[in-house]
Amino acid sequence: MARGCLCCVKYMMFLFNLLFWLSGCGLLGVGIWLSVSQGSFATFSPSFPSISAANLVITLGSVVMVTGFLGCLGAIKENKCLLLSFFIVLLIILLAELILLILFFVYTDKVSENAKQDLKDGLRLYNTDNNVGLRNAWNIIQAEWECCGVTGHTDWHDALQEKTVPDRCCQEHYRECGRNTTNIFWSQGCYEKVEEWLNDNKHLLGTIAMCVLVLQLLGMAFSMTLYQQIHRAGKKYDA
């Protein structure tokens, strides 16, 4: 009976982590594809130039892959050391998420103001030769989200030191339209647009966050259950 329970938990955890590992492989693949195919699409932040969509997805995929690998190997080998490592990794990730979430809510206003200022500082690099990625990023976001600047089109006036805006700020887009002050530009800033999108999709984002939390808790529960089953069965493993 005990052996049957052990096998059941073992293979459930193996399948759970196999899916986890495959998800990590998928994320890593997407991140590499983004890095290769859209290498000119960079970060908006001059303070954190390495934080781009591709790098974030690659990092996330790598963490998920390593975690899933630990879980798979620990389950199939019935290795207590690997299972404990898997549990600790998930616990660290969970605690880090909770700490970041608490800090974000405590310092929401400060984070928001610093983010706006950092983005505005990035606008000054728009026309520089070695920041093609930042220029492409702003062009794409302004065209797709129908917004202009961080808080409004006047942000570009301060950044570019003249009363012009990128052509993608124009509601009727054509070459050099941003230099014509009589044109109609998108009235909303991109920061406000992002805030609106987050607010409109808060239920979906909350559901995704809850699913991630449940998966993490399930992974921790499976690993500890299997760990205890192995311990009770009196098996000996190499640490």
Closest CA to 5 of 223, 225, 231: 225
Q: Contact at 8 Å (CB) between 226 and 75?
A: yes
Please report which confidence band the pLDDT of residue 38 belongs to, taking 50, 70 and 90 as the band edges: low
pTM value is: 0.74
**Given a cut of 60, is residue 93 above it in pLDDT?**
yes
Please report which confidence band the pLDDT of residue 48 belongs to, taking 50, 70 and 90 as the band edges: low
89 CA to centre of own chain: 18
170 contacts: CB under 8 Å, gap ≥ 6: 177, 178, 183, 184, 185, 186
Please report which confidence band the pLDDT of residue 155 belongs to, taking 50, 70 and 90 as the band edges: very high
Q: What is the pLDDT of residue 45?
A: 67
**Given a cut of 70, is residue 238 above it in pLDDT?**
no
Strand partners, 170: 185
Percent of the chain predicted with pLDDT > 90: 14
Mean model confidence pLDDT for the chain: 83
Q: Which two tokens stand for residue 70?
A: 């630990």
226 CA to centre of own chain: 31
Please report which confidence band the pLDDT of residue 150 belongs to, taking 50, 70 and 90 as the band edges: very high
Q: What is the pLDDT of residue 236?
A: 46
How large is the average pLDDT for residues 174-185? 84
Domains present along the chain, CATH in parentheses? 2-108+215-233 (no CATH), 110-193 (1.10.1450.10)
235 contacts: CB under 8 Å, gap ≥ 6: 78
How large is the average pLDDT for residues 110-133? 84
pLDDT digits (tens, 9 = 90+) for 162-177: 888 999 999 888 888 8
Question: Between the CA of residue 77 and those of 12, 117, 234, what are the distances in Å?
Answer: 14, 51, 15
Beta strands per DSSP E along 91-220 = none
Q: Which two tokens stand for residue 160?
A: 């570019």
d(CA 145, CA 197): 10
